[in-house]
């Protein structure tokens, strides 16, 4: 694990290869809707909302128990989401109030020139304080009040950029801090 900045933890090679492949396949087999992009009704993107049934079927909580995020494996899940991004799709800075965010990159391969970084902003919302390259089998776990967005993939990418997110409700109140071993 590396701590990018306070409140953001980054884990590479997060799941076993077998589970990574199972999760990636399951995400690709899901039904997706064309949804409004963050705040602007004219911008559209593909979005999927894996259900609690999906989480049980793939065994996600059990797999989380095998990771450094085990203490969070049984927190209440407020929502889940899967973004499927293609070149040129905009995203806007946003937060997730009262939640911890589990962001996961399930792809088996990704090249640096394909872009798709996740960007995190400082408290003022103007300066980028951390940029995470889209790295296969990477998990980013962070405080939901951290303003963030993504950079669209470039036109060089041969397939969509898929990101899976789980939004855990904080158990100990709004000011509960991220604690990791």
Query: For the domain that residue 41 is a member of, what is the CATH number?
Result: 2.60.120.620
Interacting residues of 54 by C-beta distance below 8 A, sequence separation 6+: 26, 30, 80
Q: Is residue 121 part of a domain?
A: yes
Tell me whether residue 176 is in a domain: no
Domain-located, residue 178 = no
Q: Cβ(170)–Cβ(96) under 8 Å?
A: no
Torsion angle of C-alpha atoms 8, 12, 13, 15, degrees rounded to 10: 10
Domain presence at residue 174: no
- 71-87 as b/e, with b when 16 or more CB fall inside 10 Å? ebeebebeebebbbbee
CB neighbour list of residue 27: distance below 8 Å, 6 or more residues apart: 48, 50, 82, 106, 162, 164
pLDDT for residue 94 is more than 60: yes
- Say if 180 falls within a structural domain: no
Q: How many CB atoms lie within 10 A of CB 65?
A: 14
- Between 30 and 28, the more confident residue is 28
- Total domain count, the chain: 1
pTM, rounded to two decimals: 0.87
**Would the pLDDT of 43 be above 50?**
no
Domain, as residue range, for 134: 2-169
> Strand, coil or helix: what is 96?
coil
Whether 128 maps to a domain, the answer reads: yes
Question: What is the per-residue pLDDT across 60-90, written as a single tens digit (0 to 9) for each?
Answer: 999 999 999 999 998 988 888 888 888 888 7
User: Does residue 156 lie within any of the structural domains?
Assistant: yes
How would residue 51 be classed by pLDDT, with cut points 50, 70 and 90? confident
What's the mean pLDDT when you consider all of the chain?
Answer: 85
Task: Determine, yes or no, domain membership for 177.
Answer: no
Contact (CB, 8 A) for 108 and 20: yes
């Amino acid at each position: 694990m590396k701590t990018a900045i306070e409140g953001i933890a980054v884990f590479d090679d997060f799941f076993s290869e077998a589970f990574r492949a199972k999760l990636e396949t399951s995400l690709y087999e899901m039904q997706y809707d064309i949804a409004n992009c963050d705040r602007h009704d004219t911008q559209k993107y593909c979005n999927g909302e894996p259900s609690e049934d999906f989480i049980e079927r793939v065994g996600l909580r059990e797999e989380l128990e095998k990771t450094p995020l085990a203490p969070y494996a049984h927190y209440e899940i407020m929502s889940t989401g899967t973004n499927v991004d293609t070149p040129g799709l905009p995203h806007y800075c946003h937060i997730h109030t009262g939640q911890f965010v589990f962001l996961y990159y399930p792809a088996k391969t990704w090249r640096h020139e394909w872009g798709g970084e996740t960007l995190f902003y400082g408290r003022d919302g103007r300066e980028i304080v951390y940029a995470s390259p889209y790295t296969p089998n990477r998990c980013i776990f962070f405080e939901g009040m951290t303003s963030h967005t993504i950079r669209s993939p470039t036109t060089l990418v041969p397939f969509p950029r898929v990101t899976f997110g789980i939004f855990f409700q904080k158990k100990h109140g709004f000011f509960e801090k991220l604690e990791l071993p």
